[in-house]
Amino acid sequence: MEIWRLSKDDIEKRTRDALAGDDDDATLRTLEWLARSWHFGQLVDIWGPALYRRNRAAFLGAFHRRVQPHPVHVTRAWEGWIDEVEAAGDERLYRTLYQARILSLGPEAWHADLARVWDQGAANQRAAGLAKLVLPRMAPPDALALRFYREDPDAARDWLLRAAGGCEEPGRQDALIEAAQSAGDLDFADALFALNLDFEAWEERTRKLARTVSNPDELGRALERILPVRARRSVWVLEDHFGGLPKVITEIAEQRADLAPWLRRRHGRLKFAGAWADLAELAWSRRDQPDWFALWTALSRSSTGHAGFHRAVTAAVKELDRPRARSALFALGGATEVWDEQEYIWQSEERFWQLDADAFDAVLTFSPQALLGPMRPHVRFNVIDTKRFQRVVDVGNEELIDLVTARLLTAHPGWGPSRVNPKKVLGYWRVLQGDGPRFIPRVLRVLGFLEPRNPFWHRWAGKEHPLRGFFLDPELPWLDAPGALRDLLECAAPSVRTLALRIMRAARPDDDRLKTEVAACHDILAGYLFLEQPSRQLKDVLFALRLTTSELSSATALVASLRDALVLHHPGEGSLRCRDLLAAELAHLLTAWPGLRRPTERPVVHRRQA
């Protein structure tokens, strides 16, 4: 029975039945299963106190997170329970339950509890007492906060920061900040200030620091202390409350050129898609200084969007001297974090900005090697049209031609009109095909450039596409090039590996070249037995391995590998079909070499009944 089919009443009934049972283990397993239901958390008054009293360790380990602190759940059953939790010292749980109680009673009850804990507790107990009363999204009243701080700052400090940090609108807390500054407690004052959502106050203070603090390291530290904490954590806060932050930082950077090292280190903390274009422009204007140059590359790669990246690449190759342009391309190349507009999150996966047409042309003119080096992940098929392909051919760098061809292979025919005439591309390769020994190594390199992570390409690899049909053809003279099969097997791209196996399948078994090639790939093929793959691919692997198994030593090794590979296909795991294939191959070998059998591996011969 799927848990989601059960209604709230069903869950309630089953919960009560489970709790009534004597077997602790069975009760626990049942409750763990019921806990998967959304309704379970709403029934905490039924299972919470009972389970906590019966098995505190299990409750804290597995069920604490199911407690939903909603005032509706607060019933009389909680009254003694909260006190027990407090007495046992389970602080996290206590805070969860306390929050629910306060939500049902109102903030005045919380204020009263705060005052009571403060007044009745000894000096060394106040901090611990207050720590239990931190509630998310509830700001402490200003008067109480100020009173606590004045009477015992050491006890109040941590609690005030946690309480202010947890609520969405902490308020300006000017009085408290002023009190802290008067007392010389500057770290605390700055920490509180950083939690505010007041952009004007932050701007005023930031500009003042920039005017008054001359040492750049000190200035950086001072700015760091008041950098808005919430803006760092949430793009919503950044956009809603501190939209002008990049502009202020840029204006300060204009006045303080010595701030570049700090900006370089810290810009990543403020992820604001496309908002640092002005700062990038400023950094570009000061590119002769190493720190600004480094800042410019960092911003262009991560914080100025597509357009900024393309401009940066183009500017680097057109306006910088050669050594610096190389450095810039290396610094600009590589993965970055991008703002995913659909998911509303920053993606920290490997993402590469694609070069646009102008940037591609500029880099090609500058140095074809750069497209093979740091800019390689940024070259995509979208930018290649027939003219551009011809330009690449005219440049004459074979490795680059192969890279571009590999990118064209990943173009899906159904994604809009193809920008490149496949006949032009094929024309080049057919000429090469007639050239003899240079052809297969070039094709191997093309296939080697295919990236394994592109799921669409591999899904459509078998579909009609003139380029793919040409390169993934098992009938090409692969066996003429020694080591070609191994090259294909060592590729990470699944389609290329499949091609290698198809080649072995399609060749004549008595072809000596095939036997030599397959023998050289034996170690790689043995590893293929353990890959997750469709059964038809495993069949090809087994076929290839059988070609190399002509002697006892190779048979012994293969038998050991097959036995190990079978482990991956236990019932309920792996693939039934793959298990059958492996078992059949093992049986075949043990029949041919009976000495390799284990005592338990005896053929069963079914005789006709007498």
Partner 1 sequence: MITYQSRYAAQSKASGGALSLSTNERRPVRFHARIAQHLYPMRLALQTLGELVWSDMGWISEDEFEERMEASLDPVITVHPDRVFFEAFSQDESAYGVVIVDRDVFEDDGATQCGTTNVDFTRGLHQALGDMRSSRDAHLHVGPAGFAVAAGDGGAHFEAKVELPDSWVRGFLQIQAAMALPGTRFTARPADLLRMIRFLQRNRALTSPRSVRYEFEPGRPVRAVLEPWEHEVVFGESSHNYTTAKVTRTWGRRRLSLVEKLLPWAQNVEVYLKGRGLPSFYSVQLPGVRFVLGLSGWVAGHWSQAASFDLMAPTDTDDLLTTRAVDHLRTSHRCTAQQASDELGVTLERAHAALADACRLGMAIYDVQDREFRHRELFETPIDPVAFYPPDPRRELARTLEPSAVVGTDVRRERVVGRGKPYVDRVIDGTVASHTTHVVIKDTGQLIFGRCTCPFFDEHLMTSGPCEHMLALRRVAERAGPSAG
Q: What is the C-alpha end-to-end distance of the chain, expressed in Å?
A: 50
H or E element that contains 402: helix 398-409
Nearer to partner 1, 472 or 529 (CB): 529
Backbone Cα Rg of the chain: 34
- 608 Cβ neighbours under 8 A, 6+ residues apart: none
Question: Which of 52/78 has CB closer to partner 1?
Answer: 52
Cα 388 to Cα 365, 392, 397: the distances in Å are 12, 6, 14
Q: How far is the CB of 385 from partner 1 (least distance, A)?
A: 25
Q: How far is the CB of 19 from partner 1 (least distance, A)?
A: 17
* Rounded distance between C-alpha atoms, residue 550 and residue 528, angstroms: 20
In the complex, what is the shortest distance from the CB of residue 527 to partner 1, in angstroms, rounded to a whole number?
4
Shortest distance, position 33 Cβ to partner 1, whole Å? 8
Please report how close the Cβ of residue 206 comes to partner 1 at its closest, in angstroms. 19
Q: How far is the CB of 7 from partner 1 (least distance, A)?
A: 20
Torsion of CA 425, 431, 432, 436, to 10 degrees: 150
* Chain-centroid distance, C-alpha 30: 35
Q: Toward partner 1, which CB reaches closer, 115 or 229? A: 229
Q: Is the Cβ of residue 17 or residue 532 nearer to partner 1 in the bound state?
A: 532
Q: Which residues, 6+ apart, have CB-to-CB distance to 405 below 8 Å?
A: 425, 429, 446, 467
> Shortest approach of partner 1 to residue 117 CB, angstroms?
23
Confirm if 406 and 446 have CB atoms less than 8 A apart. Answer: yes
Nearer Cβ to partner 1 (427/482): 482
- CB of residue 268 to partner 1, shortest distance in Å: 5
Contact predicate 505/512, CB 8 Å? no
Cα dihedral sign for 514, 516, 517, 520? positive
Q: How far apart are CA 342 and CA 22, in angstroms?
A: 51
User: Residue 298, exposed/middle/buried by CB under 10 A (0-12, 13-18, 19+)?
Assistant: buried
CB 252 within 8 A of CB 210: yes
Q: Considering beta carbons, is residue 431 or 531 the nearer one to partner 1? A: 531
Q: Cβ 337 to partner 1, closest distance in Å? A: 10
Q: Which is nearer to partner 1, 143 or 492 (CB)?
A: 492
Q: Between residues 13 and 36, which has the closer beta carbon with respect to partner 1? A: 36
In the complex, the smallest distance separating the C-beta of residue 506 from partner 1, rounded to whole angstroms, is: 21
The neighbouring-strand residues paired with 346 are 339
Give the 3-state DSSP-derived string for 488-530, with helices as H, strands as E and coil as C: HHHCCCHHHHHHHHHHHHHCCCCCHHHHHHHHHCHHHHHHHCC
Which residue, 199 or 330, has its beta carbon nearer to partner 1?
Answer: 330
Nearest approach, Cβ of 404 to partner 1 (angstroms)? 16
Number of H helices, E strands in the chain: 37, 2
Q: Which residues pair with 351 in a beta bridge?
A: 336
Alpha-carbon distance of 284 to 305, in angstroms, equals 16
Is the CB of 275 or the CB of 485 nearer to partner 1? 485
> From CA 430, how far away is CA 405, in angstroms rounded?
13
* Residue keyed to tokens 């808005």: 228
Which residues contact residue 124 at a Cβ distance below 8 angstroms, ignoring those fewer than 6 apart?
A: none
- Pick between residue 72 and residue 492 the one whose CB is nearest to partner 1: 492
Q: What is the binding site for partner 1 (CB under 8 A)?
A: 32, 35-36, 61-62, 229, 232-233, 265, 268-269, 290, 321-324, 326-327, 330-331, 333-335, 348, 350, 369, 372-374, 376-377, 399, 444, 448-449, 451-452, 482-484, 486-487, 490-492, 523-524, 526-532, 564-565, 567-568, 570, 573-574
**How do 336-340 and 345-351 pair as beta strands?**
antiparallel
